[in-house]
Structure 1
């Protein structure tokens, strides 16, 4: 299993990121290549490579990711107009870093989820 990712280095503050939230389970920070006016990544502090690697003992981590997303969306002023949460799994879905991460996107009309 992967022990160290670029996200691990952000969690431990070895690499700078604009961190908006951090607790014992998750860290949230602004994406450096935003796809929307508000683009925040929410990651578990424990490396879980993909959704396929999630186990029952990770339930509290995944729940914290969702609750953090809701809290951050309110703080960022996008909760009323709406936002999107995305978790990609493996290459066909576009996962580039093999450390689960949830994209919180908002701040404009996002359009359809997939292009036909």
Structure 2
């Protein structure tokens, strides 16, 4: 955990979140600024800056994050019509919180790109 990381503070229970799924190593919660009717973030509880760092440091945990994305999407009823899983990497990639997180977006047609 890093003290200045928003998501580490959510994992620690210091900042509230609407949790939809939790395992020993992951946490999934609703985004506070949703870009779609369903917008859920899936994070590893361990701090990793981005998905590239996570994949290098702990490939098994990276796989678990992806598996939890599928579990959460299923629980939200998204697979039948489709959904998007998105990782932003770095400032130019649109990453705002530098703790790796997957966005699960669905519940409406998303088109080719998600507008900021």
Alignment TM-score > 0.5, same fold: yes
Q: Which runs of 4+ in 1 moved over 6 A?
A: none
Consecutive unaligned residues of structure 1, counting only runs of 5 or more, are none
Consecutive unaligned residues of structure 2, counting only runs of 5 or more, are none
Provide the TM-score with structure 1 as the length reference.
0.90
Partner of 1:47: 47
Partner of 2:33: 33
Partner of 1:11: 11
Q: Take 1:55 and 1:25, find their aligned partners in 2: how far apart are those partners? A: 15
CA deviation after TM superposition for structure 1 residue 23, in Å: 1.2
Could you give the per-residue CA deviations for residues 40-70 of structure 1, whole angstroms, max 9, x where no partner exists? 0000101101234235441111111111111
CA deviation after TM superposition for structure 1 residue 12, in Å: 1.4
Q: Is the 8 A contact 2:54 2:100 kept in 1?
A: no
Measured on the aligned residues, the alpha-carbon RMSD in Å equals: 1.6
Provide the TM-score with structure 2 as the length reference.
0.90
Number of corresponding residues: 114
